[in-house]
Amino acid sequence: MRVITGIARGRRLNAPEGLDVRPTTDKVKEAVFSAIQFEIENAYVLDLFAGSGQMGIEAISRGASRAVFVDSSQRAIRCINENIRTVKFERQSEVINRDSYDYIRLTRNMFDIIILDPPYRHNHIDNILPFAAKKLRDGGLVICEYEAEADEPATPENLILRKTYRYGKINVSILCKPVPEVSEE
């Protein structure tokens, strides 16, 4: 696992050990960031269910101004902190050891990009998307990674499904929060 491009390009990242961790493949990560490449610059990113933190780290490497990494596992938090030190992104990062549902419900922060890559087969995305939609700035994106056999996540009423991509056994849906139209009077 490595940072694909940007200022930390080529740096190796570690993943926490265990069966509950499933790092995003380089192929999927490259495709996701290619799809959102014009929205990354100066973005405030939330990497929820962060695992190794590789998605938030990739975002910072490509120009995001800051990323918040949230995971409930102590093992994941140690790995995220190690990876952030490896790429020297301590100033642009905040690492929080907390349940993802608690964080998204209670935070006052508003984000430009929210990355949801929860454990598979637990219906987390459908349950957490309505909360994520409320923490998204106008024009912001939610990136959802889930197993290909699962149903596409239900789109909350204030988001629009931009596109769903299929990469072998993985699907990625990108949803956006429209910018309100300004009426001319």
So where are the chain's domains? 26-176
The pTM is what?
A: 0.93
The average confidence (pLDDT) of the chain is 91
Return d(Cα 125, Cα 106) in angstroms, integer: 17
pLDDT per residue as tens digits for the range 54-73: 999 999 999 999 999 999 99
- Is residue 49 within 8 Å of residue 22, measured between CB atoms? no
The fraction of the chain above a pLDDT of 90, given in percent, is 68
27: confidence class by pLDDT, cuts 50, 70, 90: confident
Q: What would be the CATH architecture of the domain defined by 26-176?
A: 3-Layer(aba) Sandwich (3.40)
On the question of pLDDT at 103 being above 80, the answer is yes
Return d(Cα 127, Cα 105) in angstroms, integer: 11
Return d(Cα 168, Cα 109) in angstroms, integer: 34
Tokens of 171: 């699907």
Return d(Cα 163, Cα 185) in angstroms, integer: 34
